[in-house]
């Protein structure tokens, strides 16, 4: 979700837009399910972060933006068919991933949700050069339903001319090459849609970022025959539409909906021209900052490839003149803040300090930004849609909109649509935008008749099998709490093995790491006990509310529990492998009058004691002074005579006459 050390020229970033897509024809006669137009709904939720420090996450994200897979080339769904979680978030890993299962029996993979790609692919078991990813490689020989796509006149073939191949090269010079196969693809155990056959890529060679990333592969949502959306539409499983909803700053979560939805009231639309490019574009005409339009001509947003929306890109990139006008307008409206350098000295980030910690109040400090489309419809952006947190200065924020160097294309990444439902209506050639709380989307889906999952209530989870923290489990309960429930304490047991033989690890450092990973203060994390056997340790920790609180807010509690439950905690390599053995949450305990007011009572007692001691000290001082000054003698009292000492005058010799 961010660019490399040197922001590559826009021409290099977008030169690959014009690369032709590999078109492979295929036909599969499958029975049509009972409801052919039920939308497919997949939940999006945050996932494990890299082991890299958060201080470098933003710069690493921008590195990936320039090196990303860009070929640059009031009602919700009525009958959802499937729900899946999406892991990772834009400003930690640079992408969102979802879990797809391929084959019989299913083999699960974490795939990047990418509207700029048209092929879905995963590493193959016989891959000659593939990196170490989140899940084991796909093994075609273990799937009873796998079929190779045979060589034909409409595809590139292998040397033996037996099987179709694919190849994708990206702007940052990463690439994916492999064989095309056909197998059953399922969308999670909450899906109402039966598994569907689809063509996908089985990687043989991957290079660049594709080799080094944690995610297994790509889920292509672009316009093209191999796109998973196109294939489902061709089978009449879903309508020709899908929607994405990314969670807000620091939250993640949300949903992806494959299929059409009834547009919510207030959704803003822009025309999208499928003939201009295979990528999703919009008709951007103006940008307003604090209600004032930037002094730009509409044609500036129509250069080269126009204005492109790409979920695989983290930040936004404007042509040089538009960026400078936007930067100056925002700076003019935040004069009360102090400009500071960005977190990474390699970039000339525009950052401001003094905005405060409370994200919900950023709109009181930073100006509102409006995007005006061709039909004069206006999309309002909040600060979280164009800012990212400074990773080294608390309460500081940086512009997440950059200059697209040497290129006239306007590229809008995921940051611009956080907490926004975006509908890609391919049938009507338009894109819709609707501001909402994506992290709470599932509650609204439940209210509209979708499958109601079990609520998250106080319970104990025991995992008897080892679960790698890097594997994002599927089919977990969604994030919800009964309204009346208050979380008082969160405890969990974690086992890990340290790699060094230096004995007991530094548990103070361990508590700090856990606090950082869970997003709480170090003072809230307490090591209750630990046991060890050689280099293997089992620790029990407790997370308490902040000192000034009696319980966790639902947002904070869900953030902590989700990270624990979904194995989001990432420890440095020196702690080796680990697994979450058990976790539980305890409700807020009702405290007695003395427990609730002991501080006030102690304060009053302290003041009373201080006043008493002060009074006693003053009395003793007064008494001592009175005694030293002597007692009062009444008139007429006989005073004994005192003999005066004789007066001795020294003799002096008289001078002679």
* Nearest CA among 466, 425, 42, 482 for reference residue 223: 425
CA 75 from centroid of its chain's CA atoms? 26
The Cα–Cα gap between 421 and 440 comes to: 12
Q: Structure tokens of 402?
A: 């950059």
**Do residues 432 and 260 touch, judged by C-beta distance below 8 A?**
no
Tell me whether residue 114 is one of the annotated catalytic residues. Answer: yes
Dihedrals phi, psi of 362, to nearest 5 degrees: -65, -30
Burial of residue 128, with CB atoms counted within 10 A of its CB: 0-12 exposed, 13-18 middle, 19 or more buried? exposed
Please list, residue by residue across 197-234, b when 16 or more beta carbons sit within 10 angstroms of its beta carbon and e when fewer do: bbbbbbbbbbbbbbbebbbbbbbbbbbbbbbbbbbbbe
Distance CA 336, CA 322 (A): 24
The pair of three-digit structure tokens given for residue 428, joined into one six-digit string: 């009507």
Q: Which residues contact 322 (CB under 8 A, 6 or more apart)?
A: 287, 294, 296, 300, 301, 410
* 273 catalytically annotated: no
Catalytic residue among 310, 349, 407, 425: 310
Q: Output the CA–CA distances (angstroms, integers) from residue 72 to 10, 16, 341, in the order listed.
A: 11, 6, 31
Using alpha carbons only, what angle is made at residue 100 by residues 99 and 104, rounded to the nearest 5 degrees?
A: 135
The torsion defined by the Cα of 333, 338, 344 and 350, in degrees rounded to 10, comes to 20
CA atoms of 617 and 279, how far apart (whole Å) = 85
What SS3 state is found at 307?
strand
Instruction: Catalytic residue, from 88, 114, 135, 209: name it.
Output: 114
Q: Smallest Cα–Cα separation from 294: which of 333, 267, 334? A: 333
What are 337's two structure tokens?
């803040």
CA 497, CA 428: separation in Å to the nearest integer?
Answer: 56
| Backbone phi and psi for residue 619, each to the nearest 5 degrees, phi listed first | -65, -45
Of 263, 244, 266, which is closest to residue 255 (Cα–Cα)? Answer: 244
Q: Which two tokens stand for residue 265?
A: 């009231």
Residues with a catalytic annotation lie at 114, 310
């Amino acid at each position: 979700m961010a660019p490399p050390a040197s922001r590559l020229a826009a021409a290099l970033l977008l030169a690959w837009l014009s690369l032709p897509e590999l078109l492979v024809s295929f036909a599969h006669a499958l029975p049509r399910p009972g409801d052919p137009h039920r939308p497919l709904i997949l939940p999006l939720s945050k996932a494990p972060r890299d082991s890299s420090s958060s201080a470098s996450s933003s710069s690493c994200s921008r590195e990936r933006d320039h090196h990303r897979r860009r070929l640059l080339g009031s009602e919700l769904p009525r009958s959802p068919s499937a729900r899946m979680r999406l892991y990772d978030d834009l400003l930690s890993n640079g992408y969102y991933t979802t879990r797809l299962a391929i084959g019989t029996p299913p083999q699960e993979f974490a795939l990047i949700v990418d509207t700029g790609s048209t092929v879905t692919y995963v590493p193959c078991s016989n891959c000659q050069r593939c990196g170490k990813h989140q899940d084991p490689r796909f093994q075609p020989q273990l799937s009873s339903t796998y079929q190779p796509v045979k060589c034909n006149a409409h595809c590139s073939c292998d040397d033996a001319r037996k099987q179709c191949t694919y190849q994708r090269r990206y702007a940052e010079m990463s690439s994916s090459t492999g064989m095309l196969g056909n197998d059953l693809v399922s969308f999670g155990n909450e899906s109402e849609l039966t598994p569907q056959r689809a063509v996908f890529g089985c990687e043989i060679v991957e290079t660049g970022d594709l080799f080094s990333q944690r995610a297994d592969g790509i889920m292509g949502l672009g316009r093209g025959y191999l796109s998973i959306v196109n294939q489902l539409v061709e089978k009449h499983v879903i309508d020709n539409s899908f929607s994405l909803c990314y969670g807000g700053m620091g939250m993640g979560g949300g949903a992806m909906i494959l299929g059409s939805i009834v547009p919510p009231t207030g959704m803003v639309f822009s025309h999208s021209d499928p003939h201009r490019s295979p990528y999703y574009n919009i008709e951007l005409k103006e940008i307003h900052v604090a209600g004032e339009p930037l002094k730009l001509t509409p044609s500036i947003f129509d250069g080269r490839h126009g204005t492109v929306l790409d979920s695989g890109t983290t930040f936004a990139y404007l042509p040089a003149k538009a960026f400078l006008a936007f930067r100056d307008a925002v700076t003019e409206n935040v004069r009360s803040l102090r400009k500071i350098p960005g977190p990474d000295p390699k970039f000339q980030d525009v950052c401001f300090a003094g905005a405060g910690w409370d994200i919900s109040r950023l709109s009181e400090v930073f100006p509102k930004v409006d995007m005006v489309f061709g039909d004069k419809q206006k999309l309002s952006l909040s600060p979280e849609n164009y800012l990212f947190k400074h990773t080294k200065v608390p309460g500081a924020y940086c512009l997440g909109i950059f200059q697209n160097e040497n290129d006239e294309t306007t590229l809008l990444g995921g940051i611009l649509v956080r907490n926004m439902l975006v509908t890609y209506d391919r049938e009507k050639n338009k894109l819709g935008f609707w501001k909402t709380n994506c992290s709470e989307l599932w509650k609204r889906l439940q209210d509209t008749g979708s499958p109601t999952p079990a609520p998250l209530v106080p319970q104990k989870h025991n995992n008897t099998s080892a679960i790698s923290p890097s594997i994002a489990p599927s089919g977990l309960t969604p994030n919800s709490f009964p309204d009346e429930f208050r979380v008082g304490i969160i405890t969990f047991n974690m086992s890990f093995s340290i790699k060094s033989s230096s004995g007991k690890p530094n548990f103070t450092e361990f508590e700090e790491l856990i606090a950082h990973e869970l997003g709480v203060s170090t003072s809230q994390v307490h090591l209750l006990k630990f046991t060890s056997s050689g280099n293997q340790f089992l620790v029990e920790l407790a997370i308490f509310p902040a000192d000034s609180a009696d319980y966790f807010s639902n947002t904070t509690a869900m953030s902590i529990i989700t990270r624990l439950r979904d194995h989001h905690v990432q420890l440095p390599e020196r702690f080796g492998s680990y697994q979450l053995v058990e976790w539980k949450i305890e409700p807020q305990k009702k405290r007695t009058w003395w427990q609730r007011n002991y501080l006030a009572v102690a304060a009053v007692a302290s003041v009373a004691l201080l006043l008493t001691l002060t009074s006693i000290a003053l009395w003793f001082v007064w008494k001592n002074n009175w005694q030293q000054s002597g007692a009062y003698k009444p008139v007429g009292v006989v005073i004994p005579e005192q003999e005066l000492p004789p007066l001795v005058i020294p003799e002096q010799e008289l001078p002679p006459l």
